[in-house]
Structure 1
């Protein structure tokens, strides 16, 4: 595809002519630019360029300082030149040859220069406007050659992208062939295999749910059995302790003899003390019944302070004896002599019979 050459316009012809003139003209600024680009600044020790000529910030600071210095130097030069001219004019013996005609000619010359300068400014402004308009037209693609170029560029870029996509697809296909050698599944076989796998997955899900339910039931059963096992362990420990205690009693052959001796001692004590019976209605109360001569009986109530073995008070219950034992109780309660109190009360009762 060929792109047609743009049509020659007067503006383009003038632009080409101006460019040709600039290239053929030997301007000092162009030569100075080339000299500056090829200038070796390594010998300037007091300049920032010699320290690091590749640092833009240092170059900017150095150029700014040079510009400031040149501005001051220019102002100083203008000032000195004006002073020198003023002094020469004052001290000169000849008066300047300036008359009305000279001033008129200078005024006419200045007016002409102003007119030309104004016309040049107008043409320059028009040229700038044309350049801006042309730049907008080029950017928006109004020219046929620009639009064709942009279309060709976009087509070329799209073709390159499509080519890269084709290469990537071929590479991916080659990798798939290498990863999955023959025989390969067809579309129908793959669909059938997917259906079978879905059915198997459904069956496996059902089996998994059943196993989860069984696991929950087993967990509950394990908890119940664990509690029962702990209870049985506690009962077993108690039974083992009772068994050990029973075995010790069975192995100890002395306990029948000791039991007989203790029973005989209790019977002897009861007969000596005329003790018929005793009982404990509460934790801190003891009731003792004595058999007296002539078939009479007396029940003595002993009350102790709660939580201690200290005698608090004593009295006769349901007794036909008219005796006062409070004095005896007071005397023996001080020393907490319960056996002495029992002997004294029993002696008093026997004396009354």
Structure 2
């Protein structure tokens, strides 16, 4: 058996979409045609123009149904009234006149009640059938919309498959050349999945540690503020001490005539003392 390719599936979908498009409007065309023929046959004039049948929508169909129900109710009432009058007149003017006994009225009333009960049962059955048909219609419309979306996705699928195949080919070529410096990119699927799971666990652990550190931030900030408050007097004291020390050193240098003069004098004295010691000890310099 030959394998089914994406191109064959796409071709089949396109043929189905072109030749077997089914919509609510198309399904309503036989009904619309039948209604038009009935109007032409009976020469009826309706408030709803026949142009509405050319642009049928769910809302217009609902309006037509309500309109025809009202017309049918009026027509049924007129028909019953006319038939009743005709029977009554015929019974009066007939020769001999039609005389109905009380028992016949009772029997007719009984038959009428049975007919009403049967009609009510039929109406209930029809109402149930209508409800079931409405539910099936909604279900079919949802399925139809889903099929339309899936058809679009299937239409786009071959292009995505070609792109993925091209990407896979490039990755295989790069792997064969060994151009990827990261060895983790060349792992098989099972080891890649294990590595991914390990990375996820590591990420979760880091997130947990980060949450713990973030919870400690307010306490550390309060402690830092306290230390800074304690450090500020010490820093002021240090600055004052350094200023006092520099001032004392300046005064000492001023009293000794300067640091450079004192060092030069000491150097000459040490050099003279060294020369005298060398002469006493008879050491050649």
TM-score interval (norm. to shorter):
under 0.3
Q: Which has the larger radius of gyration?
A: 1
> TM-score, normalization: structure 1?
0.23
> TM-score, normalization: structure 2?
0.27
Judging by fraction of residues, say which structure has more helix: 2
Judging by fraction of residues, say which structure has more strand: 1
